[in-house]
């Protein structure tokens, strides 16, 4: 049989794989610019407070461009307070349109971001994000070294903004398309809820981990991993939000949107939403989800003590601890401790340096001594995986479940179990997000009931579980909106 259908060269090229196709298009009359938005709630905020911004109306807003800029400083009498990566100062954020919530946010979004940073490329900017914890000499401003229980402090003079959060999970980081016309909906408001003081650390001193042991050449002093007196807090000043607004001289875009609404009744903007569950785990943790598309389940494990937060920093396994000294005279107690890697002295897998995490973000496998833990997820009676998997098997499943998996050489097996113990299972088709395809579990009519079952895990282990879902914002005529969760 002969196929007499013909296709235009342009259409044929468009259907070709992009690696083979010679394509080019032009959009004329484009203008872009950044605007600074001042918060409605004032330019200063402290722990457990919220910040609110009115977003530009009647504009094409680039949701990936949002930059929350601020000065951050710690306080507390003799608390030795230390900042985490600054994005973890945010507990959650919401977006509302005309008073109706589009994205309701979820608690402990900072814990999920820390868990994702373990398994994917970190979203913490090395210049603005405060990616590493400071022991004595801050890499932010290069000021004089801290001593004793001095707090980590940065000046807010001259309207300084040393820090910035340039990536947001949820609606702002995942909505498609990423440029949205705010004229289609009511007035948009972004509300950011700050975390509590538990995300900070309170240290008793500035010495390397391991310097509390007495005996020459080590002098017993308070170290960075020893608990401080507590009472730490933080304050943000000079708060502002920078956003990119795009302009189009042509009216073609408006005509396309209007035509789409006229044909289907609405336009669809899919985005990721999350539901969080926290439990003191005793072998079984239950959760329930009602969603049109349950895509992934994230699980972070912490000891009960670490989940409280605060306290001294946690030295990541394998990195530098006390033990390598330089001195003119052998055995002098005042010699300079430059530290030695906890693995081979050569510093395998980039461990010839210091690295710490705060207790609140230290994910660890707390197995019953002399046993091996197993893990299994139950979703409405269906088992995932179909066997009781050990920690290493769950890691192998996790790395195949994460979009943009990128551990490279930044984590060893020992570090994974002691400091970065995070699990993820994927329930939708691989790479479906890039195609704007909804393929996860539809549980709207059955209210899916899930269980996290483990064996040989220390009772009381803190589990934080997140259900990653795809939601849709539907915008219709006359600024009507509808949410499909």
C-alpha–C-alpha distance, residues 13 and 19, integer Å: 11
Domain assignment present for residue 3? The answer is: no
Domain assignment present for residue 7? The answer is: no
End-to-end alpha carbon distance in the chain = 47
Give the C-alpha distances (Å, rounded to integers) separating 363 from 134, 312, 345. Answer: 20, 15, 26
Percent composition of the chain: helix, strand, coil (DSSP 3-state, to 5): 15, 35, 45
Q: Which residue in 214, 85, 100, 98 sits closest to 140, CA to CA?
A: 85
Domain assignment present for residue 19? The answer is: no
pLDDT per residue over 248-296, tens digit each?
988 888 888 999 999 999 999 999 999 999 999 999 999 999 999 999 9
Please give the pLDDT value at position 2: 47
Task: Describe the strand order of the beta sheet including 188-194 as a list of residue ranges.
Answer: 50-54, 188-194, 90-97, 100-103
Q: Please report, for the domain that includes residue 320, its CATH number.
A: 2.70.9.10
* Structure-block tokens of residue 9: 């060269």
Q: Residue 172: which H helix or E strand, with range?
A: helix 171-174
Q: Which residue in 111, 106, 104 sits closest to 89, CA to CA?
A: 111
Please give the pLDDT value at position 9: 56
Which residue stretches of 380-479 are H helix? 391-401, 413-419
Domain assignment present for residue 298? The answer is: yes
The pTM is what?
0.91
pLDDT of the chain along its 485 residues, tens only? 445 555 555 556 556 666 777 777 788 889 999 999 999 999 999 999 999 999 999 899 999 999 999 999 999 988 999 999 999 999 999 999 988 889 888 999 999 999 999 998 888 999 999 999 999 999 999 999 999 999 999 999 999 999 999 999 999 999 999 999 999 988 999 999 999 999 999 999 999 988 765 555 555 678 999 999 999 999 999 999 999 999 998 888 888 899 999 999 999 999 999 999 999 999 999 999 999 999 999 999 999 999 999 999 999 999 999 887 776 666 555 667 788 999 998 888 889 999 999 999 999 999 999 999 999 999 999 999 999 999 999 999 999 999 888 766 679 999 999 999 999 999 999 988 888 889 999 998 888 999 999 999 999 999 999 999 999 999 999 888 999 98
Q: Domain containing 146: what range?
A: 29-431+438-479
Domain assignment present for residue 24? The answer is: no
pLDDT per residue over 167-213, tens digit each?
999 999 999 999 999 999 889 999 999 999 999 999 999 999 887 65
Please give the pLDDT value at position 403: 84
DSSP string, 316-382: PTTSEES--EE-SSTT-TT-EE--EESS-TT-GGGTSS--EE-GGG-B---BPTT---EEEEEETTE
Please give the pLDDT value at position 304: 97
Please give the pLDDT value at position 266: 93
Angle at 148 between CA 317 and CA 214, to 5 degrees: 60
C-alpha–C-alpha distance, residues 296 and 69, integer Å: 31
Domain count, the chain: 1
Per DSSP bridges, beta strands 30-37 and 233-248 are antiparallel
C-alpha–C-alpha distance, residues 41 and 306, integer Å: 32
Domain assignment present for residue 167? The answer is: yes
Domain assignment present for residue 8? The answer is: no
- Specify the residue for token string 């479906």: 432
Q: Which residue in 360, 363, 348, 258 sits closest to 301, CA to CA?
A: 363
Which burial class, exposed, middle or buried, applies to 146 when counting CB atoms under 10 A from its CB (0-12, 13-18, 19+)?
buried
Please give the pLDDT value at position 221: 78
Please give the pLDDT value at position 3: 52
Sign of CA dihedral 60, 61, 65, 70: positive
Task: Describe the strand order of the beta sheet including 284-289 as a list of residue ranges.
Answer: 284-289, 448-455, 374-379, 382-390
Domain assignment present for residue 2? The answer is: no
Please give the pLDDT value at position 191: 97
Please give the pLDDT value at position 216: 54
């Amino acid at each position: 049989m002969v196929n007499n259908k013909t296709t235009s060269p342009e259409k044929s090229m468009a259907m070709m794989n992009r690696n083979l196709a010679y394509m080019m298009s032009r959009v004329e009359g484009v203008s872009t610019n950044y605007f600074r938005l001042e918060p409605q709630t004032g330019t200063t905020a402290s722990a457990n407070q919220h910040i609110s911004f009115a977003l530009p109306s009647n504009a094409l807003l680039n949701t990936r461009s949002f930059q929350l800029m601020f000065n951050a400083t710690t306080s507390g009498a003799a608390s030795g307070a230390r900042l985490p990566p600054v994005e973890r100062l945010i507990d959650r954020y919401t977006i509302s349109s005309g008073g109706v919530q589009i994205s309701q946010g979820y608690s402990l979004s900072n814990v999920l971001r820390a868990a994702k940073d373990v398994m994917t490329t970190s979203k913490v900017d090395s210049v603005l994000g405060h990616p590493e914890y400071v022991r004595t000499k801050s890499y932010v401003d290069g000021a004089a070294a801290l001593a004793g229980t001095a707090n980590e402090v940065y000046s807010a003079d001259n309207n300084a903004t040393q820090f910035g959060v340039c990536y947001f999970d949820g609606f702002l980081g995942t909505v498609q398309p990423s440029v949205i016309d705010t004229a289609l909906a009511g007035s948009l408001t972004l509300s950011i809820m700050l975390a509590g003081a538990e995300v900070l650390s309170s240290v008793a001193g500035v010495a390397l981990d391991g310097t509390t042991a007495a005996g020459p050449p080590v002098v017993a002093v308070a170290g960075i991993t020893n608990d401080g007196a507590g009472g730490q807090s933080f304050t943000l000043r000079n708060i502002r939000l920078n956003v990119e607004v795009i302009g189009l001289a042509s009216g073609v875009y408006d005509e396309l949107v209007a035509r789409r609404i006229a044909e289907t009744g609405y336009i669809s903007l899919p985005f990721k939403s999350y539901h969080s569950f926290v439990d003191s785990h005793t072998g079984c943790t239950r959760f329930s989800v009602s969603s049109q598309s349950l895509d992934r389940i994230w699980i972070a494990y912490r000891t009960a003590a670490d989940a409280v937060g605060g306290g001294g920093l946690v030295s990541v396994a394998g990195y530098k601890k006390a033990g390598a000294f330089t001195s003119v005279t052998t055995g002098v107690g005042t010699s300079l401790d430059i530290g030695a890697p906890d693995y081979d002295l050569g510093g395998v897998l980039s461990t010839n340096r210091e690295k710490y995490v705060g207790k609140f973000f230290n994910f660890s496998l707390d197995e019953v001594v002399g046993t091996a833990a197993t893990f299994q997820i139950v979703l409405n009676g269906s088992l995932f995986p179909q066997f009781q998997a050990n920690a290493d098997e769950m890691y192998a499943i996790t790395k195949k479940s994460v979009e943009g998996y990128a551990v490279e050489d930044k984590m060893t097996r020992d570090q994974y179990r002691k400091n970065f113990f995070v699990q993820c299972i994927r329930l939708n088709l691989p790479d479906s997000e890039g195609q704007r395809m909804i393929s996860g579990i539809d549980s709207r009519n059955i209210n899916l009931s899930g269980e996290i079952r483990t064996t040989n895990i220390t009772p009381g282990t803190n589990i934080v579980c997140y259900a990653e879902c795809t939601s849709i914002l539907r915008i219709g005529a006359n600024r009507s909106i509808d949410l499909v969760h």
